[in-house]
Chain A
């Protein structure tokens, strides 16, 4: 399998549930990202992992908890979410090379989350 794979593709959860989103990349990239995509809004960067170390946490509420056990896998653990957290959650990976600047992201198809 190639590219970036996200599961599940769709998730409906109540505000008291605990669930996890999974992302797997088969590209040998050294960085992985979680983005939130809401309708008619810019992509919001949530977390970045470079070589499995978290390098970005853009003031994301603690009800979102990332985990990166190795360079190929990334999880987003969800707990006590709010209805406004309903969105498409996109995972991406890249091979970071700051000398060239062309940090091209490869995205997964996303996990559509609905919080009731």
Chain B
């Protein structure tokens, strides 16, 4: 079956760096997405990786290794507003999105 695994919850300190991991098993692969969802709000698109390597966007970076079925989202210089859930989703060979359950990130001062 198809499956996405990511940690349920993580805690980090303001100003620090945190890495949120995501492993996937899907029927084919057409890219991996990360979304951010603040409590009570819409998920918003953060990144899309389809080739191996690191994509950097300001304080956020996303990494993909297709051979390992693995991705991570790296958040630097953490701010309190980064407290949110981070959703990993993989697009399979039929262009269907397979979602993880999300990682709730708690930032402490």
A residues lining the B interface (CB < 8 Å): 4, 40-43, 45, 90, 98, 101-110
Q: List 13 A-B contacts (CB under 8 A).
A: A4-B42, A40-B8, A41-B101, A42-B4, A42-B102, A43-B87, A101-B31, A101-B50, A101-B95, A103-B95, A103-B97, A105-B97, A107-B43
The number of residue pairs between A and B whose CB atoms lie closer than 8 Å in the complex comes to 49
List A contacts of B96 (CB < 8 A). 45
Main secondary structure on A side of the interface with B = loop
15 other A-B residue contacts (CB within 8 Å) besides A42-B99, A101-B31: A40-B101, A40-B102, A42-B102, A90-B43, A98-B95, A101-B30, A101-B50, A103-B91, A104-B45, A105-B35, A106-B42, A106-B45, A107-B35, A107-B43, A108-B42
Could you tell me the distance in whole angstroms from the C-beta of B63 to the nearest C-beta in chain A? 17
Nearest A residue (CB) for B49: A102
Q: Say whether, besides A107-B43, A110-B42, A45 and B97 are in contact (CB < 8 Å).
A: yes
List B contacts of A41 (CB < 8 A). 101
